[in-house]
Amino acid sequence: MPEPTARAEAIARSILARTDGDIRLALPLGLGKPVTLVNALTKLVAQTPSARLSILTALTLERPSMSAGLARRFMEPAADRLFGAYPEIAYAEMMRDGTLPPNIEVSEFFMMAGRWLGVGEAQRNYIAANYTHAYDRLREWNPNVVMQLLAEAEDGTLSLSCNTDITADLLRDREAGRLSFLLAGEVNRQLPAMGGDAATLPGQAVDLLMRDGTEFELFSAVKRPVGVTEHAIGLHVARLIRDGGTLQIGIGAIGDAVAHALLLRHAGQSAPVHRACPLPPDGIDDAGAFDEGLYCVTEMLVDGLLQLFEAGIIRREVDGAAIHAGFFVDCRDFYARLRDMPEARRNRIRMVPVSYTNQLYGDEAAKRAARRDARFVNAAMKATLLGGIVSDATAEGREVSGIGGQFNFIEQAFALEDGRAIITLPATRTRNGRTESNIVWDHPHESVPRAYRDIVVTEYGIADLRGQRDAEVVKRMLRITDARFQDALLDKARAAGKIERDFSIPDAWRVNTPGTVAGWLAPFDLPQFPFGSDFDETERRLLPALDLLSETRGSRRGLARLVVAGLRSSAADEERACMARMGLDHPRGMERLESLALKGALAETRREAQVIRK
């Protein structure tokens, strides 16, 4: 039976004693980390040189860096409101500042996107694994301790809540005698008690339990603004989803845009938007309302999917569930809606391991029957002109995030009858004042090889690549490429003999510019935050200006342009409020340059918004 209420330090000492000081700790990814217990164990081992702690996990959640500059001015005053008063995870803090002792090591198979690019320890210890294979690696590693953040239902029973993804299978293996480990749990009553495999945790399964400790506030994933690029991608994707089918989408602005576009479609409000589209036609019509509804099978339950469930779009049930999901992490409103949902309704959302969501093996016939007309929607960083997908690492091999379950769902799309894998990405990105194409000729690293090319969507449209000859793939990718980069990419394809020498870009494709997309969507007044935001009105006004400054960083010419614009600007009331919010309304010394650049960015983004509205 669980030990009586114990403080974290006592549980850490008990773990150290029961493992003889050699701890192989498996931690759930994301929200499921019991931070109080993890920190207590990490600090105890750091103070015990004879002990050893090896941690295998993924997606260590951290609030963004607020070390200096405009980012600190913007984030620091609102950090708790935006991200929750989520505590620092000790091992992450030590890795960042170079103080992780030699008797502690941390390996992850998926990382918070971009957060560990410059940390050598994290890069060296990264384990490349598809999500469904991560459990195999973990089982071979043979953990002797598993820790998990737990929810508690009204009747006092415990729930795995946000993370059944790998823990459920670990517990099954332990019950079958294939693994032996201590399970230490930390109860957090802000977590919703979920059904499915999350609810099958008997009290006696928990060896060490911290039930009445100081509960920390859950990590809140801040919603990013959904701009015209994301809205355009979402509107294109929404045309590909079949009524009565199966859906998976990811977190972030594009995921929110897809969910919002599906809501528009269901309400009969998307057809006028598509009719006004000036982009090259792709032959895919806008579809109607969801009369039968969708079924969702996803590794990650995100707010966009919950919105579709609450709106009655996701309602087709499989074994009594409209949603099967492996884990979740999102915003505080998301957690509250799950907690407050009537139990009967919440039970239609079943938390299951990723061995169920991410693959067809195991009861394959039933899974195939359930996952009809599947559409798996995932994001990428880059795509090659021949259909290869880059999602997780830079050209130099530095890991940005990890492959996660993306390849699992692409593989499912090819294995299922009528299944399709939809990869989304903005056509361009801007950094250091320079705009580059996200569609490239080649890349030294492909997360998804071009043999698995299927559907690629940018703001400029849909490229259906499955089963096409290379020459046709090149043409279809050029049709969704930004016009500024079409000619250079066409030259590469010609040089490689992958397209006819006399092929030229049709005039209809030359309209692929940001201005075209902005002009198309401006009359429809699409929301910047379709599902709400913790940013206040002033912060929302600041966001595009800060994005512009970020894009300009490293470009002297770009920074000079903004400073000059700031000198010429006569700030409106809302912009004066922005300057005050950033503490730059009365700048001193070197702050003056920063203040002028921000004023210029505010003026420039205001003019851009006015042009779009016109």
Give the model's pLDDT for residue 609. 62
DSSP string across 304-344: HHHHHHHTTSB---BTTBSEEEEEE---HHHHHHHHHS-HH
Residue 266 CA to residue 288 CA, distance in Å, equals 6
Task: Count CA within 13 A, CB hemisphere, residue 412.
Answer: 33
Q: How confident is the model at residue 576 (pLDDT cuts 50, 70, 90)?
A: confident
Q: Is residue 221 pLDDT above 60, yes or no? A: yes
465 phi, psi to nearest 5 deg: -105, -15
Give the model's pLDDT for residue 598. 84
Identify the weakest region by mean pLDDT among 66-70, 87-91, 99-103, 438-442. Answer: 66-70
Q: How confident is the model at residue 2 (pLDDT cuts 50, 70, 90)?
A: very low
DSSP string across 452-511: G--EEEETTEEEE-TT--HHHHHHHHHHTS-HHHHHHHHHHHHHTT-S-TT----GGGGG
pLDDT digits (tens, 9 = 90+) for 352-370: 999 999 999 989 999 999 9
Q: Tell me how many degrees the CA angle 574-579-585 measures, rounded to the nearest 5.
A: 125
Q: In the beta sheet, which residues pair with residue 323?
A: 296, 349
Q: In the beta sheet, which residues pair with residue 587?
A: none
**Is 567 in a helix, a strand, or coil?**
helix
CA quadruple 530, 533, 538, 539: dihedral positive or negative? negative
576 phi, psi to nearest 5 deg: -65, -40
Three-state SS sequence of 41-79: HHHHHHCCCCCEEEEEECCCCCCCCCCCHHHHHHHHHHH
Q: Is residue 81 pLDDT above 80, yes or no? A: yes
Give the model's pLDDT for residue 596. 87
Mean pLDDT for all residues in the chain: 91
- Tell me the H-state helices in 378-482: 406-415, 470-479
Identify the weakest region by mean pLDDT among 45-59, 334-348, 410-424, 580-594. Answer: 580-594
Average pLDDT over residues 363-381: 97
Q: What residues contact residue 68 under an 8 Å CB cut-off, 6+ apart?
A: none
Identify the weakest region by mean pLDDT among 290-294, 314-318, 395-399, 509-513. Answer: 395-399
pLDDT digits (tens, 9 = 90+) for 546-574: 888 877 776 777 788 888 888 887 767 77
Q: Are 583 and 542 in contact (CB under 8 A)?
A: no
Closest CA to 51 of 18, 93, 94: 18
Burial of 3 (0-12, 13-18, 19+ CB in 10 A): middle
Give the model's pLDDT for residue 1. 40
Give the model's pLDDT for residue 610. 55
Identify the weakest region by mean pLDDT among 149-163, 203-217, 222-236, 369-383. Answer: 203-217
Q: Is residue 3 pLDDT above 60, yes or no? A: no
Q: Are 287 and 243 in contact (CB under 8 A)?
A: yes
Q: Is residue 433 pLDDT above 80, yes or no? A: no
**Residue that is written with structure tokens 């600007």 in the block:** 569
Give the model's pLDDT for residue 564. 84
Q: Is residue 115 pLDDT above 60, yes or no? A: yes
Residue 351 CA to residue 198 CA, distance in Å, equals 6
Four-point Cα dihedral 387, 390, 396, 401, nearest 10: -170
Average pLDDT over residues 262-288: 92
What are the Cα distances from residue 2, in Å, to 5, 154, 186? 9, 19, 12
Average pLDDT over residues 538-544: 85
Closest CA to 327 of 294, 368, 365, 299: 299
pTM attached to this predicted model: 0.92
Question: How many other β-carbons are positioned within 10 Å of the β-carbon of residue 500?
Answer: 12
What are the Cα distances from residue 76, in Å, to 19, 54, 85, 527, 542? 40, 33, 12, 26, 15
Give the model's pLDDT for residue 371. 98
Residue 466 CA to residue 416 CA, distance in Å, equals 14
Q: How confident is the model at residue 4 (pLDDT cuts 50, 70, 90)?
A: very low
Give the model's pLDDT for residue 156. 87
State the greatest distance between any 2 C-alpha atoms of the chain, in Å, as a whole number.
78
Radius of gyration of the chain (CA): 25
Give the model's pLDDT for residue 64. 79
Express as a percent the part of the chain with pLDDT over 90. Answer: 73
Four-point Cα dihedral 451, 457, 461, 465, nearest 10: 10
Task: Look up residue 103 and give its DSSP letter.
Answer: T
Q: Are 180 and 186 in contact (CB under 8 A)?
A: no
Average pLDDT over residues 136-160: 94
Give the model's pLDDT for residue 385. 98
CA quadruple 177, 178, 181, 187: dihedral positive or negative? negative
Q: Is residue 347 pLDDT above 90, yes or no? A: yes
